[in-house]
Amino acid sequence: MKLAFVVLLTVLTHVGFVGSRVTLALFALDRGASPLTIGVLMSLYAVLGMLLAVATGRLIDRIGAFRPLVAGGALLAAAILLPCAWPALPALYPAALFAGTAFMVQHVGLSHVAGSIGTPAERAANFSWFSVSFAIGGFFGPLIAGFAIDGLGHRAAFFLLALFPAAGALLLAWKRPPLPAGHGTPRAPGAGGVADLLRQAQLRAALAFSGVLAMGWDLFSFVVPVYGSQIGLPASTIGILMGSFAAATFSVRVLMPALARRVREWTVVAGALLVAGLAYTLLPLAVRVPPLMALCFMLGIGLGSAQPMIMAVLFSASPAGRQGEVVGMRSTVLGMSTTFMPLAYGAAGSALGIGPVIWIMAAVLLAAGWQAGRR
């Protein structure tokens, strides 16, 4: 029941967060924003999270997950509502900044709770079910955003999406489920910091491949609205394309609990990177909706299958009492990707076009897949 509650909270949070990213990008494009501006906005989603994730993880280790999760859900809802109350391009900058920071708090807290459930032998399967909730949210968020924009407008879409994290925060405050308690004491001065954790080879490898996967994921979030708008697709069709990606992540993650008992973690990671690299190689060649949907689905299979295995490796390698800190380190890596890569994608896309940007990422993913296979 605890895992089911975590899955429900994650779905509500992720629907609002992912849907807000799509709505924000399409609203900015509707106001005449350039690819570089979209890159800046996508980067703002992660800049504070990148800086605060490790401290957030340490706080959750100390005080438990309940209060940060309630506060994070409320802040996420308020940030998504901001462009509804102030429907102008300047409002998107603080909205992206605070929505991304709130989601980081939710992600670190919910990951900590999911990793604490059950025994270490069940951890990979638990993280697989946990990741299914992200796939569900990733499927419905863009669909709700796209159809709400086409049918009701951007302001109504922001309002509708804010209801989901608000409902999660209210449900958590009302039910007050038994979440893991913190150890209640500040870290001792000599307890060791991030550098101490990075001495562990398994942690270093997992964090490095998390970064590569995050780069591929962030490219998808950036490139589909931009590329779809460039070839004349309506918002609802762009939402369907992003929904097909999420449907693939959902499908593969439903199979992951069984796969986790039979296949080594690094084998899955290598295969995921190679599949994603191949899909990106073909993406700029597609201009019709059916092949675009197929390639988005293929990307979802690749990028979606590796995350649970990476999380299981990270949590297993974490010292006792520092799991939240390690999850925060991973969130910092993801935040670095989400902060800097959209800026790079936007600048390169404005200078070179979208196609070369996609092919460069394809080469990176294929090379990383080969390296992961060697492990």
Residues whose CB is less than 8 angstroms from the CB of residue 31 and which lie 6 or more positions away in sequence, other chains included: 89
State how far the Cα of 106 lies from the Cα of 219, in Å rounded to an integer: 22
State how far the Cα of 142 lies from the Cα of 26, in Å rounded to an integer: 11
Residue 183: inside a domain, yes or no? no
Cβ pair 164, 12 in contact under 8 A: yes
pLDDT value at residue 266: 78
Is the model's pLDDT at 78 over the cut of 90?
yes
Domain that holds residue 255: 2-174+195-374
Cβ pair 87, 124 in contact under 8 A: no
pLDDT digits (tens, 9 = 90+) for 222-264: 788 888 888 888 878 888 888 888 788 888 878 876 776 677 7
Residue 184: inside a domain, yes or no? no
State how far the Cα of 167 lies from the Cα of 298, in Å rounded to an integer: 32
HSE value, Cβ hemisphere, 13 Å, CA-based, for 287: 6
Pair of tokens at residue 258: 């069984």
Residue 133: inside a domain, yes or no? yes
* Residue given tokens 């993801």 in the structure block: 334
Residues whose CB is less than 8 angstroms from the CB of residue 217 and which lie 6 or more positions away in sequence, other chains included: 303, 337
pLDDT value at residue 155: 92
Judged by phi (left if over 0) then psi (alpha if -120 to 50, else beta), residue 321 lies in left
Residue 303: inside a domain, yes or no? yes
pLDDT digits (tens, 9 = 90+) for 37-62: 887 888 788 788 788 888 888 888 88
Residue 188: inside a domain, yes or no? no
DSSP state of 261: T
Cβ pair 223, 354 in contact under 8 A: yes
Closest CA to 243 of 314, 296, 280: 296
pLDDT value at residue 267: 83
State how far the Cα of 141 lies from the Cα of 136, in Å rounded to an integer: 8
How many residues appear in the chain? Answer: 375
Backbone φ and ψ of 198, nearest 5°:
-70, -10
Is the model's pLDDT at 189 over the cut of 50?
no
Q: In 31-122, where does DSSP find H-type helix?
A: 35-63, 66-85, 92-116
Looking at every residue in the chain, the average pLDDT score rounds to: 83
Pair of tokens at residue 21: 């990213």
Residue 269: inside a domain, yes or no? yes
State how far the Cα of 161 lies from the Cα of 141, in Å rounded to an integer: 8
HSE value, Cβ hemisphere, 13 Å, CA-based, for 33: 24
pLDDT digits (tens, 9 = 90+) for 105-154: 998 888 888 877 777 667 767 777 787 888 788 778 888 998 899 888 99
CATH at residue 355: 1.20.1250.20
How many helices (H) and strands (E) would you count in the chain? 13, 0
DSSP state of 262: T
Residue 187: inside a domain, yes or no? no
End-to-end CA distance of the chain: give it in Å, rounded: 36
Provide the domain count of the chain: 1
State how far the Cα of 44 lies from the Cα of 218, in Å rounded to an integer: 13
**pLDDT bracket for residue 13 (50, 70, 90):** very high
When mean pLDDT is compared over 116-120, 287-291, 327-331, the highest value belongs to 287-291
Residues whose CB is less than 8 angstroms from the CB of residue 285 and which lie 6 or more positions away in sequence, other chains included: none
Residue 231: inside a domain, yes or no? yes
Q: How far is CA 337 from the centre of its chain?
A: 11
